[in-house]
Amino acid sequence: MKLSRRNFIKSTALSAIFLSAVPQAVKSMSSSLWDDYDEVLCKKKFKLLVEGDVRSMSIGDAIAEVGKSFIDTDYVAGTLDKNMSEGLVVNLTGLDCVTFVENCLVFARCIKLGKTSFDDYKAELKKVRYRDGTIDGYASRLHYFCDWITDNENKGIVKDITADIGGVSYNKNIDFMSTHTKSYKQLSNSNALDGIVAAENAINSRNYYYIPTKDISKSYDQMQTGDIIATTTSIGGLDVTHTGLVYKEGGGTYFMHASSKSKRVIISNEELQDYVAGDSKKTGIMVARPLEV
């Protein structure tokens, strides 16, 4: 199944642009040059999405179409954390699980809004990535994905539907970043650390829900293509460890994501519950539904 799906995706002109993307090692040699390259890729992507009439699709289907265009794009970790000073990072040739989800959401929203310039893309990316859409230092980035969901729900971009489709209380104290400061070079700055602690305190004041792994398949009928998935974890102090998208095909419910194991963007061979069950540290999922613009 996976092979035939990929062969179909590779046959599209939209995917071909990104399958030919330059290796990250080459890209890092000249950041200013490849900033321009990202702009070229962004414009080409918009052009082909418009020509493909993605705007007429539902937001979920539009997100999935963008996601399919990224199939086989390199998985690259840590692209947002290279610099000590916080600024908007654009990287369309290497994605981690969160930047994959963000880019799928941003491109789809821009297309639906009819805003398809590079500046439009960057403005929308900043809106979804940062608390209240404003860059104000390291802590203004939505590092914890449960916080990302809440903030984007407040902005009317997504809705947390976890409780509505079978979720139960996710009772967990979130403090991983503030208790593992050596893993985050930016937290050597006391203001950044104070901001992260404040974000953790806010998270811990809210009620969150998750669907335990064994119950995920019971909610398949209530999930839609393009729903955003975050996998909860047994790791102390951490909310989730991975993100991706629901992809419905042939009666199955699959997981589209930037895979650190496969080192590229893929659609899972197994259905979503089986994928989550394959990692003993994954305890279940949160589900956020993108809202029509």
Kindly report, residue by residue over 182-232, the tens digit of the pLDDT: 999 999 999 999 999 999 999 999 999 999 999 999 999 999 999 999 999
CA distance 293 to 285: 25
pLDDT at site 126: 98
| pLDDT reported for residue 108 | 98
Question: Which amino acid is present at 12?
Answer: T
> What's the average model confidence in pLDDT over 94-115?
98
Q: How many CB atoms lie within 10 A of CB 214?
A: 11
Residue 31 pLDDT > 70: no
| Percent of the chain predicted with pLDDT > 90 | 87
What CA–CA distance (Å, rounded) separates 142 from 158? 15
- Asked if the 2-290 domain carries CATH number 2.60.40.10, the reply is no
Please state the pTM of the whole predicted model.
0.90
Q: Supply the DSSP string of 156-220, one letter for each residue.
A: TSEEE-TGGGT-EE------HHHH-GGG-GGGGSHHHHHHHHHHHHHHHTS--EEEEGGGGGGGG
- Is the pLDDT at 16 greater than 80, yes or no? no
- Counted residue by residue, the chain has a size of 293
Do residues 291 and 105 lie in contact, with contact meaning Cβ atoms separated by under 8 Å? no
**Pairing outcome for strands 209-212 and 74-75:** unpaired
What mean pLDDT value characterizes the chain? 91
Q: Is the model's pLDDT at 25 over the cut of 90?
A: no
pLDDT at position 138 over 60: yes
Helix (H, G, I), strand (E, B), or coil: what is residue 255? strand
**Residue 137, pLDDT above cutoff 60:** yes
Gap between the Cα atoms of 43 and 50, Å rounded? 11
Only one residue has tokens 């400061």, namely: 181
Number of other CB atoms surrounding residue 86 within 10 Å: 18
Residue 268 clears pLDDT 70, i.e. is over it: yes
Q: How is residue 141 annotated by DSSP?
A: B
pLDDT exceeds 60 at position 161: yes
Sign of the alpha-carbon dihedral angle for 96, 97, 99, 104: positive
For residue 17, the model assigns a pLDDT of 47
- At residue 4, the pLDDT reads 40
Q: Tell the residue number behind the tokens 């969150």, with chain if given.
A: 208
